[in-house]
Structure 1
Amino acid sequence: MLGRFSAFLVGGALALSASSGLVALRGAAAQEAAKPPEAAKPPFVFTGIPDQDESRLVERFGKVATYLEGKLGVPVRYIPVKNYPAAVTAFSNGQVQLAWFGGFTGVQARRAVPGSQAIAQGAEDAAFKTYFIAHAGTGLTKGPDFPKEIAGKTFSFGSRASTSGRLMPEYFVRQAFAGRTPEAVFSRVGFSGDHSRTIQLVQSGAFEVGAVDYSVWDLDTKAGKVDAKAVSVIWESPTFPDYQWTVRGDVDRTYGPGFTERLRAALVGIADPAILEPFGRSRFIPVTNAAYEPLIEVGKSTGLLD
């Protein structure tokens, strides 16, 4: 009898222990569920200056967004903008955290947002070039010296804020014509808005001469968009620093310590030709704000930068 009673006590104790353990587990689970969830990181948003036709931009930046999302572990979105100043504005007001800027727009954006950094550029951007192009009807041909015969002709820049399509071409024009402005040198001056458009305007004869980003010229030529019988390169400029990825200085606070360096490493680590080719770049390399100091001096000398 005593044995059965002892067994009962032992069994009851075991049952009670199991029951208590279950209650404890449920309580712990309830406490865990009651904890406020860690705040999700907001999407990392970037943009790029619209320097060529929209279909190429969507292809280019869509691939970058997918790649960065896989490397950074946060949602990444690309948003298009209508023009160069809109890219600077989106960066300045925090609508985007990263942007693919031209040299001059990058300078403008970093001046507007203290602490922002140029972190990567194309290998080709350290020594970039402008092409001066001319309609076949002008009779102008390619030579090593600045083509002073363009004086008196109609001339198209790209965007007003473009480095290779406006800032540097205007600088070279002023150098060649004793400081005279483009408006004083040419019979008519236009601004196409982007490099692909400049090519088409000169090719059609709407403008006799224009200034374009050499990489866009090469891309459009490969794509069959350039009629060599109608338009050709007549001069290659001296080199200058141009495009770069610039990031806001507050991203580490939002996405965690070291995020900027992880982003730089991800961009420099791009090796997929499917991503690089739409940029007309062989690879991306590290860069700092100091590389663009020459553009500040040019901007001031031409009156395009205060």
Structure 2
Amino acid sequence: MPMDFKDTLVIAISSTALFDLAESHRIYMESGVNSYAQYQIDHEDELLKPGAAFGLVRKLLALNEGAEDKPRVEVILLSRNSADTGLRVFNSIENHRLHITRAAFTSGNSPYLYAEAFGAHLFLSTNPVDVTQAIEAGIAAATIVAPTQAGNESDIIKFAFDGDAVLFSDESEQIFQSGGLEEFTKHEKASAQKPLEGGPFKNFLAALHKLQKEFGTEDCPIRTALVTARSAPAHERVIRTLRYWDIRIDEALFLGGMDKTKFLKAFGADVFFDDQEGHIERAREHIASGHVPNGVINKK
């Protein structure tokens, strides 16, 4: 019987998000693909250093400890390398003792299509074009950047999400952009009983919630937080939407336009997902952050 990943959280990740390939990329940009390929072959026994998502991936894979029958988390490598040049990546995976056994090497083509084929709930990459294509295909995806300082060292994995255009559709954000705060507040108050449509990260949050229920609330190794610029009375629609979806969120921060950075640091997020690049740039001072190229903000 063919294997499937039913009831497993599936994360697809690019080689450049998992490892630091800055030097390799420099050679590619300066000298072309042939020099890049030869460089990778010449250095294939040289251990690659961790990249922006390395810590998150290691924590997620640790959730499989004690899961003897079926892994709770499956990490898939999706790479623009060829199989030949990708040998260095797999050697580094083995040396770092990461249990990643499945991969797609596309020799320069965008690998996002394989994220859907593998049933990935999330695709992390450093290539904005691949991420945008994945978002347009309905896959939760983000362009991840590394933090400038060391992040959360605890064993608990903490995910922080923006609301509009990430967990939820950008319906309300469109009203805010066209009519301002007053129109936005009026619309959200009038629509408080109407659940928001799901955004690109709804299914990923649902998959996390399903995994959380395996552990229970007392000793769960995963925590989630909504970190949004919304405030009262626009908070009610968000709360009712999550209730309608039957999805638990552990912490909800309604900041009313305040800078999110200090709150993300206080939460101790391992990664933060937001649709606005300005928020990502500030947050990366402390935590890994993923830009979600979705919604009216990213169409300007």
Q: TM-score, normalised by structure 2?
A: 0.28
* Structure showing the higher helix proportion among its residues: 1
Bigger relative CO (Cα 8 Å, ≥ 6 apart): 1
Q: Which has more radius of gyration?
A: 1
Q: TM-score, normalised by structure 1?
A: 0.28
